[in-house]
């Protein structure tokens, strides 16, 4: 058999084999997609050839109220090799789904030694366990979180107990379709949660959704809109509608009464505010009927600091994935030094500020992992100012008695949480970084109640 015939026979086998495999070039575009891959993913080679694969863990830029369970964009971002495969020639393995299969990425070099393509195999997880560094750990973790809600284009990721409580309340709201009031500090994700609740409802596709932000619309214009919606409802044109209302403290009492009337005739109202209901009541900003309506289900969002370092790391990975969707440069994660910098920061503007900082750091990054040098100047100035305020307060404040044992437990809990996050969730490595035996480390985890669930 000639070499040409052998090569042709191999190519035919690669194309027709039931073993799923594909090739990604250095521009992250799929150049080969065999029959096994077509059968596994339910798409043809023609659908994906030449398409870009951003390192985004299944994240997409789909429309907000999309009703699709799967999209080509989501598939492409799940098939993406880690950036280190291209820069360092690392062989990597990442999970494809809940754990039954994984993708193994094998860099292939040209005769000059330059990486030319990445050969990707889909194999059973029992044959090859996921591997990689801390950055890829959080990428895997994000992919698992996103896979829990494949129908949603709004992703409320987080594992902290405070955030899980929010998710449970959101589930109740979407099932009951009752009026909801969401309160929280600036940037905590109030509007995103409101939209997520609507997306989670079983009849979301048949609902007309209208959003208002009282900060950006005049009272006159807002009042006219509500009157028009009320007329449509009376004519039977807005029977199953939803009104998302941001910053209700700016809504006059007479308009609140019209909103209450809409709700009594079937309109689903979800309202948000930076203030709690008690604060709004103290300022006499709520009409009694409207107060009674929106207090049926109240969701209070925790700050980013309250959610803890594990949620912070998971959100950072999601914001990196968002940047990877459109940027030519791909980032996989961060260094330990970068993580320590962001954990020590107070994050007064919460998720909104974190997304902005990660976006700027991604733009400035020179490597596949974010480093402290990538942090924007504004972040550094803010962190320095926070430290100065802490130092000044400690100097000015007289000594006050405290429960030393409780205080030390809080410090220890914080250090342990940071060590676990820095170790990518590997508790053995976290124990070693703190100079503790594995057995002692696990005893302290149980005693302190660190990262339960």
pLDDT digits (tens, 9 = 90+) for 114-129: 999 999 999 987 655 5
**Is residue 377 exposed (0-12), middle (13-18) or buried (19+ Cβ within 10 Å)?**
exposed
Task: Please check whether residues 94 and 183 belong to one and the same domain.
Answer: no
- The string of pLDDT tens digits covering residues 409-430 is 776 777 787 778 767 677 777 7
Q: Which of 59-63, 327-331, 360-364 has the lowest average pLDDT?
A: 59-63
In terms of domains, do 318 and 430 share one? yes
Question: Which domain, by its residues, includes 371?
Answer: 305-448
Domain co-membership, 223 together with 287: yes
The answer to whether the beta carbons of residues 89 and 118 sit under 8 Å apart is: no
Give the confidence band of 206 by pLDDT, cuts at 50, 70, 90. Answer: low
Does any domain span residue 146?
A: no
Q: Are 57 and 142 in contact (CB under 8 A)?
A: yes
pTM: 0.82
| Same domain, residue pair 29 and 92 | yes
| Nearest-angstrom CA–CA distance, 149 and 156 | 10
Tens digit of each residue's pLDDT (9 = 90 or more) over 213-232 = 888 888 888 889 988 998 88
CA distance 247 to 212: 9
* Residue the block writes with tokens 């809504």: 251
- Looking at residue 390, its pLDDT comes to 55
Average pLDDT, the chain: 85
Check if the beta carbon of residue 289 is closer than 8 Å to that of residue 256.
Answer: yes
Q: Can you give the pLDDT at residue 69?
A: 39
Question: Is 147:98 a contact under the CB 8 Å cutoff?
Answer: yes
Instruction: With respect to residue 108, please indicate whether it lies within any of the assigned structural domains.
Output: yes
Say whether pLDDT at 31 is over 90.
Answer: yes
Which value, in Å, is the radius of gyration of the alpha carbons in the chain?
A: 26
- In the chain, the percentage of residues whose pLDDT exceeds 90 is 52
Alpha-carbon span 174 to 203, nearest angstrom: 10
Neighbours of 370 (CB within 10 A): 28
Domain boundary among 301, 328, 352: 301
170 shares a domain with 52: no
Q: How many domains does one find in the chain? A: 3
Tens digit of pLDDT for each residue in 8-17? Answer: 555 667 777 8
Residue 282: give its domain's CATH number: 3.40.50.300
Same domain, 310 and 294: no
* CA 320/CA 315 separation, integer angstroms: 9
- pLDDT the model gives residue 265: 84
pLDDT confidence band for 357 (50 / 70 / 90): very high
CATH number for position 334 = 1.10.8.60
pLDDT at 369 over 60: yes
Average pLDDT on 40-64 reads 87
Res 429: pLDDT? 75
Strand 21-25 relative to strand 30-33: parallel, antiparallel, unpaired? antiparallel
* DSSP secondary structure of 116-170: EEEEEEEEETTTS--B--HHHHHHHHHHHHHHT-TT-SS-----SHHHHHHHHHH
Q: Is the dihedral of CA 318, 422, 408, 440 positive or negative?
A: positive
**pLDDT at residue 396 above 70?**
no
Indicate if 318 and 223 belong to the same structural domain.
no
301, 316, 340 — which closes off a domain? 301
Nearest to 204 by CA among 163, 154, 271: 154
Question: What residues contact residue 155 under an 8 Å CB cut-off, 6+ apart?
Answer: 59, 145, 146, 149, 318
Whether residue 42 sits in one domain with residue 111: yes
288/313 same-domain check: no
- Distance between CA 199 and CA 151 in Å, rounded? 8
55-69, 93-107, 115-129, 205-219: least confident range:
55-69
Nearest-angstrom CA–CA distance, 436 and 430: 9
**pLDDT of 393 higher than 70:** no
């Amino acid at each position: 058999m000639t070499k040409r015939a052998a090569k042709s026979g191999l190519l035919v086998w690669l194309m027709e084999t039931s073993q799923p495999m594909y090739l990604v070039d250095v521009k992250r575009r799929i150049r080969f997609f065999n029959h096994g891959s077509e059968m596994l993913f339910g798409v043809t080679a023609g659908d994906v050839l030449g398409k870009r694969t951003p390192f985004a863990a299944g994240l997409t830029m789909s429309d907000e109220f999309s009703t699709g369970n799967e999209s080509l964009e989501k598939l492409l971002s799940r098939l993406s090799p880690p950036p280190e495969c291209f820069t360092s020639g690392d062989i990597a393995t990442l999970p494809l789904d809940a754990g039954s299969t994984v993708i193994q990425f094998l860099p292939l070099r040209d005769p000059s030694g330059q990486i030319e393509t990445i050969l990707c195999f889909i194999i059973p997880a029992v044959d090859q366990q996921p591997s990689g560094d801390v950055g890829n750990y959080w990428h895997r973790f994000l992919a698992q979180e996103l896979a829990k809600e494949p129908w949603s284009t709004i992703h409320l990721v987080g594992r902290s107990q405070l955030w899980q409580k929010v998710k449970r309340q959101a589930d109740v709201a979407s099932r009951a379709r009752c009026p909801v009031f969401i309160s929280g500090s600036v940037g905590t994700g109030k509007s995103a949660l409101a939209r997520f609740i609507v997306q989670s409802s079983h009849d979301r596709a048949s609902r007309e959704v209208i959003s208002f932000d009282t900060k950006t619309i005049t009272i006159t214009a807002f009042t006219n809109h509500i009157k028009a919606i009320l007329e449509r409802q009376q004519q039977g044109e807005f029977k199953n509608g939803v009104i998302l209302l941001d910053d209700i403290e700016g809504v006059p009492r007479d308009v609140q009464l019209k909103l209450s009337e809409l709700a009594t005739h079937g309109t689903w109202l979800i309202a948000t505010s930076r203030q709690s209901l008690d604060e709004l009541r103290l300022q006499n900003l709520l009409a009694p009927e409207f107060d009674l309506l929106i207090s049926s289900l109240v969701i209070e969002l925790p700050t980013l600091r309250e959610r803890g370092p594990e949620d912070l790391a998971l959100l950072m990975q999601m914001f990196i994935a968002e940047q990877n969707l459109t940027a030519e440069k791909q980032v996989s994660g961060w260094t330990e030094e970068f993580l320590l910098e962001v954990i020590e920061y107070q994050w007064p503007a919460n998720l909104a500020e974190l997304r902005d900082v990660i976006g700027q750091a991604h733009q400035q990054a020179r490597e596949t992992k974010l480093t402290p040098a990538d942090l924007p100047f504004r972040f550094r100035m803010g962190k320095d100012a926070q430290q100065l305020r802490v130092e000044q307060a400690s100097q000015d404040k007289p000594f006050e008695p405290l429960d030393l044992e409780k205080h030390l437990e809080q410090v220890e809990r914080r250090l342990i949480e940071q060590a676990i996050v820095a170790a990518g969730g590997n508790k053995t490595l976290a124990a070693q970084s703190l100079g503790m035996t594995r057995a002692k480390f696990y005893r302290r985890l149980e005693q302190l109640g660190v990262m339960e669930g």
